[in-house]
Amino acid sequence: MFTFNTPFLFFTGKGGVGKTSLSTATAISLADAGKRVLLVSTDAASNLDEMLGVPLRNTPVAVPGVPGLEVLNIDPDAAAVAYRERALLPLSSATEQVRATVREQLSGACTTEIAVFDEFTSLLADGPGARDFVVFDTAPTGHTLRLLSLPRAWSGFLEGNDRGASCLGPHSGLKSQENRFRAALDVLVDAARTTVVLVTLPEPSCIAEAARASEELLALGLHHQRLAVNGVFTASLRDDAVALALEARGRHALESLPPALATLPREEIPLRPFDTVGLPALRALWGGGAPPSQPRTEGPAPKMDSLATLVDELAQADHGLIMVMGKGGVGKTTIAAAIALGLVERGRAVHLSTTDPAAHLAATLEGDRAGLTVSRIDPKVETEAYVEKLMAQREATLDAAGRALLLEDLRSPCTEEVAVFHAFSRLISESRRGFVVLDTAPTGHSLLLMDATGAYHRQALRSLEPSLNPSRITTPLMRLQDASLTKVLLVTLPETTPVSQAEALQVDLRRAGVEPFAWVVNRSLAASTTRDPLLAARIAGEHRQLARLSAGLSKRTFVVPWLAEPPVGLEALAALAGPRSPASSSA
């Protein structure tokens, strides 16, 4: 385990690489060594409660069994409620109409992001206090880079702006907090106070994202970096083809580290035969305790359908929106690309797009295919287009001062959230005429996008003229709720944490009136012929998760097997979706 000498520790990386496991195991190890530690999750889809066995709150909670350790989850909803209350407090003497207007301004996803940012900067600007360490378990890379860039973005936006950020209402009081934002930025870029641990698996896509994150963090001024390679596997049987292929893949990836990572101090954490849930497993992750006992698994794994069967079903329609959702690192991009190519092979034209800030579609496809259009909702591009459109619409009605003020307002970092939502809405509309397959960002970021969709829906209904019939309005959320148009696929790995997070996502979707169509279990070793003891232990864990799904968690489940060669490129991805079945051919 690394030796840390800064009070603030950030663990970041591609979704599914083990950030939560390593950050939590580190916090426990530091507390076991007698340090006072606060573990903070900035992930809207955190599963720290399941891992530690304690309910998460927006205030520090002591962790039983680990003296000196407290855990805090920056819950977006709770943070937004507190932020709204603070914003409305100075308006106690205002008219109800004024308060209602501000409440409406504070109802969107942008307010949620600002509320999370507000909590985050407080922890940095106020210092560790009586604690020795504050350990941040962050959201997947794209969302984390945005969070870490906000102190600089807001400081730059507020500099010389004596009117504050008036564009969306919630930011009118931010000018008074400028000093706190600058203090937070000072902490982030101070190598004596902040260390960033880049977490990766020994896989090319994870390593490439860690390298990109390293370079972007350097550009933000965060130079004190470490590299943690999680899940390094060594075969114990030299005649086991599956085990040897898995070991060789990891070894080759580590031998080919890009320069941005090769020079960083590095720790390699072996692949463990157990899921990192519970204190014994978390202590054993760094080798600090006995491995936890695993329950026995009786009988074979439940039978599940293949991805080809799923694509056959989807191809029965001639249009629709297919949203691929789930925790980071479960292979959403691979599954989305395979489904899109499978539909093309079955004679359908498809638009494949992504909302992920760390998009990998181009690298996954490695080529073009007739009938397939590929795009990306790029936040920067969408924001520029959105600002240009609004300026063009308003330019004729504003004088020079008014145009300058509007442009100043639109420089607000939260304009990006609005622009991304508009791009998302266009894709939903396009799915009424053809197939749109959408590779979404990891769970937490997707939930914020869904929150924006719900906020727009509520605002649209509130703004209806009294004479208009609500049944005549159709919002993007209503399109997502339409099961004949939208098919939501939850992608998971056959492991405890990804399944639990997909289950939590399913609950959130159902709360919004969106019913998942099916689950896709990716990279299953259960069908392989391996005899390696460590892999056999993990297969036993897979059987337990598949049984959990078949017991009612999932209405339909499709399984994609683990492959010795990762499915990259058009041909490999098309093969993953399988050939058109005879039944589909005759349809």
Residue 311: CB partners within 8 Å, gap ≥ 6?
Answer: 339, 342, 343, 346, 577, 578
Active site residue 18: yes
Cβ burial of 336 (10 Å; 0-12, 13-18, 19+) is buried
Per DSSP, the three-state class of 299 is coil
Radius of gyration of the chain (CA): 24
Query: Which of 6, 20, 23, 334 is an active site residue?
Result: 20
Tell me if 265 sits within 8 A of 2, measured CB to CB: yes
Rounded distance between C-alpha atoms, residue 275 and residue 568, angstroms: 27
Active site residue 497: yes
Query: Which of 19, 327, 332, 487 is an active site residue?
Result: 19
Tell me if 422 sits within 8 A of 475, measured CB to CB: no
Query: Which of 16, 108, 328, 342 is an active site residue?
Result: 16
Active site residue 101: no
Rounded distance between C-alpha atoms, residue 231 and residue 495, angstroms: 14
DSSP annotation of 557: E
C-alpha distances in Å from residue 579, one per residue of 91, 332, 434, 567: 63, 21, 21, 16
Rounded distance between C-alpha atoms, residue 62 and residue 72, angstroms: 9
Query: Which of 412, 497, 530, 557 is an active site residue?
Result: 497
Whose tokens are 């703004």? That residue is 463
Active site residue 16: yes
Active site residue 541: no
Per DSSP, the three-state class of 451 is helix
State the Cα angle at 293 between 136 and 234, rounded to 5°: 70
Rounded distance between C-alpha atoms, residue 153 and residue 158, angstroms: 9
Rounded distance between C-alpha atoms, residue 338 and residue 575, angstroms: 8
Tell me if 322 sits within 8 A of 173, measured CB to CB: no
Nearest of 52, 183, 203 to residue 124 by alpha carbon: 183
Active site residue 53: no
Query: Which of 13, 18, 331, 444 is an active site residue?
Result: 18
Decide the pairing of beta strands 350-354 and 435-439. parallel
Sheet holding 320-325, edge to edge: 305-306, 557-561, 518-524, 486-492, 320-325, 435-439, 350-354, 372-374
Contacts 24+ apart (CB under 8 A), 292-299: 294/537, 294/540, 294/541, 295/544, 296/540, 297/540, 297/541, 297/543, 297/544, 299/543
DSSP annotation of 581: P
Cβ burial of 579 (10 Å; 0-12, 13-18, 19+) is middle
What token pair was written down for 255? 């031998």
DSSP annotation of 485: T
Residue 395: CB partners within 8 Å, gap ≥ 6?
Answer: 403
H or E stretch covering 420: helix 415-430
What token pair was written down for 115? 């509320």
Per DSSP, the three-state class of 560 is strand
Tell me if 217 sits within 8 A of 205, measured CB to CB: no
> Which residues are catalytically annotated?
16, 18-21, 43, 497
